[in-house]
Amino acid sequence: MPAWFYNLHVVTALFLIYAVFGTIGFIAYKLNKKYFKLENHSPIITVAQQTSITFGTLFIAFWIALNWQTLDNLSLDSKSEAQAILDLYSSTHAINQEPQANNVRNAIENYLNSIVTEEYKSLEQGELNQHTGELFNQLKIAVYHLPAKTLEEKITYYHITTSLNTLVDFRFKRLDYVNGQMNGVLLIFFVVLLAIICFWSACINNHNRKLSVLVLCSQYLIILSSSWLILEIDRPFQGYFKVDNSAFVQIQQQVTQLNYTYNK
């Protein structure tokens, strides 16, 4: 879904979904009263209703479980990446040459500050932050330029590059969640599936009009609210259930304390 959808208030987003698919249901209800009922296709309509609702329910339940697990995974990966930053920063105390050590520390601090203040604002819009990426590249360059001539320097270089590689892995894993999974053909399939469910659900042949409307509204409330939940948590950096930068803020505070210790 486009970024503007996730910037909507919860009530507004729900109303938009109800309005769009409710219109489809209203059209189907009118068509059913005018054409389908006269041709006595109620057994066929019943099969269509059961098939679409059953398949749609299973699909929605599967995606809710999958996306909810994605939220947990992203939260864990964010904490792991933040911890990797702290481990990398802690490793710099083993660098014997202070200018190189300060260079790496400054690169880490700049990168971490950019994550907290810049990158997450971009992620909330469904975009990557170019400046944060540049600072991350500068951090890698600073680490790879560390001296590794003596045995002690080689051991230090090995530990620091290992920490950096761990950080790289967790960063790539975290940013993989930006675009979500409900994109392209899958998103079109999901929208078409909802339209089919809403269409056939509205083809109710019941003389009690109030009961028909009540049943139809109940079905729509469950199906469309569940669909909103799927779309809402599909992009875990955006929307109401987003994973924020709190893990990095906590690590930033610890890095500040370490920096004070190293500069004593």
Count the Cβ atoms, other than its own, within 10 Å of residue 138: 15
To the question of pTM greater than 0.75 for the whole model, the response is yes
Instruction: Report the alpha-carbon distance of residue 120 to residue 68 in Å, rounded.
Output: 20
- No. of H helices and E strands in the chain? 10, 0
Tens-level pLDDT at each residue, the chain (264 residues): 677 777 778 888 888 888 888 888 888 877 777 766 544 556 776 777 778 888 888 888 888 888 888 888 999 999 999 999 999 998 888 888 888 888 999 999 999 999 999 999 999 888 899 999 999 999 999 999 888 888 888 888 898 999 999 999 999 999 998 888 877 888 888 888 888 888 888 777 666 677 777 877 888 888 888 888 888 888 888 888 888 999 999 999 888 887 656 555
Question: How many separate domains does the chain show?
Answer: 1
Cβ(241)–Cβ(73) below 8 Å:
no
| Rounded to 5°, angle at Cα 24 from 21 and 25 | 90
Q: Which of 64, 72, 70 is nearest to 231 (CA)?
A: 64
- Domain limits for position 55: 3-262
Instruction: Report the alpha-carbon distance of residue 73 to residue 67 in Å, rounded.
Output: 10
Cβ(198)–Cβ(60) below 8 Å:
no
Going 198 to 202 to 203 to 204, the CA torsion angle's sign is: positive
| Rounded to 5°, angle at Cα 258 from 254 and 259 | 115
How far apart are the two ends of the chain, measured CA to CA in Å? 50
Q: What is the pLDDT of residue 10?
A: 81
Q: What is the pLDDT of residue 81?
A: 93
Burial 92-122 (b: 16+ CB within 10 A, else e): beebeeeebbbbbbebbbbbbbbbbeebbeb
Q: What is the CA radius of gyration of the chain?
A: 27
| Rounded to 5°, angle at Cα 55 from 52 and 56 | 75
Q: What is the pLDDT of residue 54?
A: 84
Instruction: Report the alpha-carbon distance of residue 194 to residue 188 in Å, rounded.
Output: 10
